[in-house]
Structure 1
Amino acid sequence: MKSTNAIYKEVQKPRQTLLLLIVFSIAAIMWTGFVRQVVLGIPIGDKPAPDGVLIACWIVFGMALPVISLTSIKLIIEVHEDGLYIRYTPFHLHYKKFLFKDIKQYKPLSYRPLERFGGWGFRVNFKGETGYILSGKEGIELTLKYETVVISTDKPEELIEAMHVFNA
C-alpha cells in the first residue's frame, strides 16, 4: 500500500507546441462552424450537418478538448518507501505502482519518443516496452521481471536519487 508521504514528487504537463496547435486549430474550426451555422444561420456546405450534431461537436471538440488539454492532462510521478508510483491523468483513475521488490534495474536515459514509441502518451512499442511519455526526451527506464517501462521525467537524476534512498 502506498505511504502517505512521498519523498519525491514531479508533475509534468504537456509542452508539445504541435499538439497544442492541433487541439486549438480543431477548436477554432468548431467555433467557426458553430457561430456561422447555429448563431448566424448560414449553412456550412451543400449538405450541412443538423444543428444538434454541430452543437454536440462544438461542445466536445470546441470546448471540452481544449479545457482538458490545458487543465487535466498531466503525469504525476511519486517515490514512496515501497516503490515508484505514476498517474497519467485523466486516463488513470488510480496510481500505477512499480514496487522496488519487482524492479530489477533502473537507469536514466535520453530517447526520442517518436522513434521508440511512435509518439507521446501511454504507449506500447513493437518490442513490448511500455512508455508513459508526456514531454521531453529524458526519462528513466525500469527493467521489471517481464517488461521494460520508460517514464518521462524532467529531472531523471533527482528521480533516480530519490529511488536510491529506499532501494539501496
Structure 2
Amino acid sequence: VIVLSVAALMWYGLIRQVVLGFPVGNNPASDAVLILFWIIFGIAFPLIMLKWTKLIVEVREDGLYIRFTPFHLHYKKFLYKDIKHYKTINYSPLKRFGGWGFRVNFKGETGYIMSGKQGIELTLKYETVVISTIKPEKFIKGMDAFQNDDL
C-alpha cells in the first residue's frame, strides 16, 4: 500500500504539472526535478519492490519460521508447542483477505500471501495464520517429521 501510494502520488504530480501545466503545491519543483522523482519513485521503486518482495518459509526443528522481505527484518516464528493444529488449504486470497501481502481479515486471521491459492493454515491458541505456498504438502511433511521426532 505504501509503495503504491508513493507511486500514485508521483504519477499525479507528473500528470498535473508536466502534462496539464498546473503547478503542484505553493512552491512547486521544476518539471525536471518532478520527472526525476517520477522515474525514481513512480517507476523504479515499485518495480524494485516487486522484485525484492518475497516470502521465505522455513520448517525448522522447533517450528515454522517466516520472513516477508523486505518488510520483516527478522524471522517470525511459530513454535510447534504453540500450534494447536495445521493443515493444507485451498483458498481465495481476494475473498478471504482482500488481496495479497501481509493481511489481517475481519475474523482476526493473519495472512502472509504472495501468490497462488494454496497454503497452510496454522491454528494457534489465539489466532489463525494462513501462509501461502505452492507446495503445502512439503511443509506439512516437514512439520510432521519434526513433530514425530519429539515423540
Note whether the superposition's TM-score is higher than 0.5: yes
Q: Match of 2:19, SS?
A: coil
- The equivalent of 1:162 in structure 2 is 142
Structure 1 gaps, min length 5: 1-22, 38-42
Tell me if 1:153 matches 2:128: no
**1: CA distance, partners of 2:42 / 2:72:** 21
CA drift at 1:62 = 1.6
Matched, 1:139 2:119: yes
Aligned to 1:58: 39
Instruction: Write out per-residue CA displacement over residues 68-121 of structure 1, whole angstroms, 9 at most, x where no aligned residue.
Output: 212x11000101100000011111111110000100000000000000000000
Q: Which has the higher contact order (CA 8 A, sep 6+)?
A: 1
Within a 5 Å distance, the mapping from 1:1-168 to structure 2 comes to 43-49=18-24, 50=29, 51=31, 52-70=33-51, 72-168=52-148
Provide the TM-score with structure 2 as the length reference: 0.80
Gaps of 5+ in 2: none
Cα distance in structure 2, aligned partners of 1:58 and 1:157: 42
Aligned residues: 133
CA distance in 2, matches of 1:76, 1:118: 21
Aligned equivalents of 2:71, 2:126: Cα separation in 1: 24
Stretches of 4+ aligned residues off by more than 4 angstroms: none
Separation in 1 of the partners of 2:43 and 2:117? Answer: 30
Q: Secondary structure, in 3 states, of the residue corresponding to 1:167?
A: helix
